[in-house]
Amino acid sequence: VAAKLGGRESDYGDVSVTINAFDHVPITLVLWRGDEELAPNGNILFDASISDYLPTEDVTVLTETLVWKLVRDIPST
């Protein structure tokens, strides 16, 4: 699903993808599978330079839009 947005596999968590939202603005989405002791979890990682390109409010909107597009395109099981 992330490949549609230009995503590439990353080396975090159980499953992760890095998507360049804009030039120089990578966002990494990390998913951790749960087990009997820990619930499934997800993290969103931003490059430290993101604040050089976008204000906080725009980072929030960008992230919401990106996650919405990914969830929308997940095939039904």
Render pLDDT for 28-74 as a digit per residue (tens, 0 to 9).
Answer: 999 999 999 999 999 999 999 999 999 999 999 999 998 898 888 77
Amino acid at 50: I
Region 11-37: what's the mean pLDDT?
Answer: 92
Tell me how crowded residue 54 is: count the other CB atoms within 10 A of its CB. 17
The per-residue pLDDT for 1 is 62
DSSP per-residue string spanning 16-30 = EEEEEEETTEEEEEE
| Residue at 62: amino acid letter | L
Q: How far apart are CA 13 and CA 4, in angstroms?
A: 21
Please state the domain extents for the chain.
Answer: 2-72
pTM of the model: 0.81
